[in-house]
Structure 1
Amino acid sequence: MKTEIINQLENILTETTQLLDSFSQADINTVPFKDSWTAAQVGCHLLKSETGIDGLFYTPTKKADRKPDENIDELKKIFLDYSLKFKSPDFILPEDKIYDKEELIGSLKEVKTKITEAAKNVDLDEIAPLPQGHPFEGYTKLEMVHFLAYHTTRHNRQIQNIKKMI
């Protein structure tokens, strides 16, 4: 199960860069409709939310005193329900600027490598060392891999929708 979700995550993160690469430099920074992010801003949001996760995985903590996959179904239900709308926390909001497509894709590829290598080389049954008050405080590293997969899948769909509108 762990190898399967890590492979899925790797494929989902690869899909993100392939989707972004399908845009021209101009189109990746084009607002498709009122109050929407650009495809580049979605990519930036993903980059901000994924950067440093490898460090979180590598930080040794205690094993969960519960089933390490207990919250996976709930995460899937929340993030893959496209009728739900979320407000992004400020610290992972993308800047309103023109992004360099190649630089953004390169950064996302680098983060993908770091995350997937970390996930393959740590004990995912450990509790993720998240700060007190974090929405996923007490979640396992395995559950965080699933979160990344579902969160990124959600935003890949958003990028696909932006592509259709441009």
Structure 2
Amino acid sequence: MSIQIINQLESALGETVALLSSFNEEQINKIPFEGSWTAAQVGRHLYKSEADIDQLFYAPAQPAGRQPDERAEGLKQILLDYSTKMKSPDFIIPEDMEFDKARLITSLAEANDKMLKAVSGTDLTDIAPLEDGNPLQGSTKLEVVHFITYHTMRHNHQINKIKEIVQ
């Protein structure tokens, strides 16, 4: 089961980089409609939510004592329901600025590589050591991989919608 979600994660992360690469410098920073992020801001949001998360997978953890993917389907249903609008936690809201396309894509690709290496080389059945108040607290490392996968897929959908408008 974990190899399948890791493959999905790798595919979703690769799709993000490919999507962002398909914009030109002007389009990637163009606001598609009032109240929306630009494609670059979506990329930056993904970077901020993924940067250094690889450390979570290397950290010591406690056994789950339950099925390690017990919450995975619920996460999938919530995150892949594109009809619902979600609010991002403040610490991963992208800055209101123009981003350099090449730097954004390079930093995101590097974070992706670090994360994929971490999830591929660890026991995902343990409880993820998350801080108090984190909505995923109590989730296994495997469930965190599911969350990251579906979160990335959700934002790839968003980037595709932005692309339709600005290109």
**TM-score scaled to structure 2, two decimals?**
0.98
Distance in 2, matches of 1:83 and 1:8, equals 22
The corresponding residue for 2:42 is 42
Paired residues in the alignment total 166
Which residue in the other structure is 1:66 paired with? 66
Q: State the 1:60 CA deviation.
A: 1.2
Matched residues in 2 for 1:53 and 1:126: separation?
16
Moved >6 Å (runs of 4+): none
Over aligned residues, Cα RMSD in angstroms? 0.6
Q: Which residue in 2 is equivalent to 1:26?
A: 26
Aligned-partner Cα distance in 1 for 2:88–2:132: 19
Correspondences of 1:70-81 after superposition (within 5 Å): 70-81=70-81
Report the Cα distance in structure 2 between the residues aligned to 1:28 and 1:133, rounded to whole angstroms: 33
Identical pairs, percent: 57
Unaligned runs of 5+ in 2: none
Give the alignment's TM-score, normalised by structure 1: 0.99
1 CA distance for matches of 2:41 and 2:80? 20
Amino acid in structure 2 at the alignment position of 1:141: K
CA deviation map 1:121-141 (0-9, x unaligned): 000001111001211100000
Number of the residue aligned with 2:9 = 9
What is the identity, as a one-letter code, of the residue corresponding to 2:138?
G
